[in-house]
């Protein structure tokens, strides 16, 4: 095990020296990978920020729960406890029928008409604030509450939630398509880079095979080169996104002040950043592996 680790460390150091032996060429390849990866990743981060902003502006949808007109105080108290104990409910606000009638007078301009009523036609109600704002979760909670026998009517306006989810779904699909296309392009960049290295080191590879070097031994430096190039490209993409968001926040601050808002763009999370680095390293390794698999077997000692 120790010998195996020493061999890999030596190959890694050798690959690093080779990577920095041609700094301009390596830097250009890393920048190409970084810029290409920053496009889909940057759009993904913007979508995450837009989703948070949309939820802040629209607020969490509310479910209005209307009790039967013949419900007494015990029924009202019992239903309130059941709603508060429900796992999908975050907060419950009670609206007594007298307050609802008073609000109706103030908002409709029909105070004279309402004042002429002999009795209050409005029922007691609860305003339910769910834990989750997803359209499916909201509709599932509404359907469940509608089955409660003490409730006369359950009302939910989830149209905006459907529109938001549809827009975000469209955006995620566009980002996914862009990421797939650019992934093929980046794998092709590494493929071509490793192909040129194999061609320039053809004589060295032939000599290595003559003295008994295995294909795995010859392949290893090229795979490390592709992996390191992809990893550095991912780091460049992360740096591009972070700097871009910082610059955008500088311009966004004055705009947010005009709307009395403190909204700002947040950088990629730790998990998203790690995913970006691992994915870029994998793309580099994959491009190198495909190139070596195609070209190495064609070189045999003469």
State the average pLDDT over residues 206-210.
Answer: 73
Residues 38 and 177 in one domain: yes
DSSP 8-class letter at 150: T
pLDDT at 40: 92
- What pairing do the DSSP bridges indicate for beta strands 125-130 and 63-67? antiparallel
Distance separating alpha carbons of residues 245 and 267, to the nearest angstrom: 7
Residues 193 and 261 in one domain: yes
Q: At what angle do helices 215-258 and 23-58 cross, to 10 degrees?
A: 40
pLDDT digits (tens, 9 = 90+) for 13-66: 777 777 777 788 888 888 999 999 999 998 998 888 877 665 555 556 778 888
Residues 144 and 27 in one domain: no
Residue 78 has pLDDT above 60, yes or no: yes
Residues 69 and 201 in one domain: no
**Domain total for the chain?**
2
Residues 207 and 152 in one domain: no
Residues 168 and 19 in one domain: yes
Distance separating alpha carbons of residues 50 and 273, to the nearest angstrom: 19
Choosing from 139, 156, 173, the residue where a domain stops is: 156
State the average pLDDT over residues 245-268.
Answer: 74
Highest mean pLDDT among 56-65, 134-143, 285-294: 285-294
pLDDT at 52: 67
What share of the chain has pLDDT > 70, as a percent? 77
Work out the number of other CB atoms within 10 angstroms of the CB of residue 299: 19
Is 168 in contact with 51 (CB distance < 8 Å)? yes
State the average pLDDT over residues 120-146.
Answer: 75
Residues 14 and 76 in one domain: no
Catalogue the E-assigned strands of the chain: 63-67, 89-95, 125-130, 151-156
Is 129 in contact with 90 (CB distance < 8 Å)? yes
pLDDT at 234: 93
CATH (domain of 73): 3.30.70.3040
Task: For residue 70, name the pLDDT band (cuts at 50, 70, 90).
Answer: confident
Residue (of 282, 290, 276, 287) closest to 34 by Cα position: 276
Residues 68 and 51 in one domain: no
Residues 72 and 203 in one domain: no
State the average pLDDT over residues 270-279.
Answer: 92
pLDDT at 299: 64
State the average pLDDT over residues 91-107.
Answer: 68
Residues 75 and 98 in one domain: yes
Residues 293 and 201 in one domain: yes
Distance separating alpha carbons of residues 251 and 168, to the nearest angstrom: 24
pLDDT at 79: 81
Residues 126 and 176 in one domain: no
Full residue range of the structural domain in which residue 91 is found: 62-156
Choosing from 156, 189, 219, the residue where a domain stops is: 156
Choosing from 126, 156, 186, the residue where a domain stops is: 156
């Amino acid at each position: 095990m120790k010998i195996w680790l020493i061999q890999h460390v030596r190959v890694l150091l050798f690959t690093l020296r080779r990577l920095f032996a041609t700094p301009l060429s390596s830097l250009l390849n890393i920048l190409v990978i970084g810029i290409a990866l920053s496009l889909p990743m940057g759009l993904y981060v913007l979508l995450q920020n837009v989703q948070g902003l949309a939820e802040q502006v629209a607020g969490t949808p509310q479910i209005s729960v209307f009790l039967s007109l013949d419900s007494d105080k015990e029924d009202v108290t019992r239903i309130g406890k059941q709603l508060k104990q429900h796992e999908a409910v975050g907060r419950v606000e009670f609206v007594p029928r007298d307050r609802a009638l008073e609000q109706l007078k103030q908002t409709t301009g029909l105070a004279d008409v309402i004042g002429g009523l002999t009795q209050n036609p409005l029922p007691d109600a609860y305003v339910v604030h769910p834990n989750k704002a997803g359209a499916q979760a909201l509709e599932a909670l509404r359907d469940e509450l509608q089955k409660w026998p003490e409730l006369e009517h359950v009302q939910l306006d989830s149209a905006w939630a459907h529109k938001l989810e549809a827009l975000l779904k469209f955006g995620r699909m566009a980002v996914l398509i862009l990421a797939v296309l650019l992934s093929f392009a980046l794998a092709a960049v590494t493929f071509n880079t490793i192909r040129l290295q194999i061609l320039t080191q053809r004589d060295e590879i032939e000599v290595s095979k003559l003295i008994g070097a295995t294909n795995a031994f010859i392949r290893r430096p090229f795979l490390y080169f592709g992996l390191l190039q992809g990893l550095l490209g991912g780091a460049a993409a992360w740096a591009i996104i972070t700097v871009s968001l910082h610059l955008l926040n500088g311009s966004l601050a004055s705009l947010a002040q005009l709307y009395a808002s403190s909204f700002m763009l947040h950088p990629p999370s730790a998990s998203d950043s790690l995913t970006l680095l691992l994915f870029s390293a994998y793309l580099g390794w994959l491009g190198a592996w495909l190139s070596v698999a195609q070209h190495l077997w064609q070189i045999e000692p003469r």
